[in-house]
Chains A and B, each alone.
Chain A
């Protein structure tokens, strides 16, 4: 196995008024990314384009997340997105509707091996 995980970043995002699972997921990804600044590519002398980015998102209705919108968040690297059932929906107390909470993990890897 030459795909080596470097860093896992975590975030949480919400859709409070629109009940939009894609918006909540995108905010969760941004929360994960913008808490950290990765310099791991430079540390190994690799180009940032070599970063393999595996995104995992948990929401209560995974089928409602538009994965293409999540991919657009990433300025470089090779992103792929997997959405699973998770996150949390909380009903509003005094009227119809829900607050949506999405959880995101962004796993950054390189396909790398030791010099012989």
Chain B
């Protein structure tokens, strides 16, 4: 296991983005959870295995954009993150698509998932591939 040293610093390794809808229920938490799942499943942070870094050291910063951020249950959204420890904040954003004739609203959420990992850059150097 790679152990943190004095030169270890928390670095962001990736920003993952996604969007999710709740089409008929106007459920902002459901839309947010789907946006997080969309963001997560477009990448795999394989470096934990490659470099033997413990994924529990990862801090995951989640920002949700929806038109009514107060209606997002951030605890439920945080439970969508399988690894590391997640901090979820909801801000004004996303998109609501309203149909004035039918009186329905489609809720669109956008999610930004940022992974921060303690990395000792001084412990690694580039070399020739074999």
Residues of A within 8 A of B (CB): 1-11, 31-32, 35-40, 42-46, 50, 52, 110-115
Contacts and interface: CB of A to CB of B under 8 A. Distances in A.
Contact of A35 (B17, B44, B129): B17
Interface of B: 11-18, 39, 41-47, 50-51, 117, 119, 121-130
A10 B42 CA distance: 5
A5 B47 CA distance: 6
A68 B130 CA distance: 25
B124 A11 contact: no
A34 to B, nearest CB: 8
B14 A10 contact: no
Nearest to A31: B42
Contacts of B46: 5-8
B128 A37 contact: no
Contact of B127 (A2, A10, A11, A52): A2
Contacts of A1: 130
Contact of B121 (A9, A11, A45): A45
Nearest to B119: A43
B43 A7 contact: yes
A32 B42 CA distance: 6
A37 B127 CA distance: 24
B60 to A, nearest CB: 14
8 tightest CB-CB pairs across the interface, nearest first? A43-B11, A111-B129, A35-B42, A37-B15, A4-B50, A45-B121, A8-B44, A6-B47
Nearest to B116: A43
B123 A36 contact: no
A52 B129 contact: yes
Contact of A112 (B16, B117, B125): B125
5 contacts: A3-B130, A39-B15, A44-B119, A45-B121, A115-B122
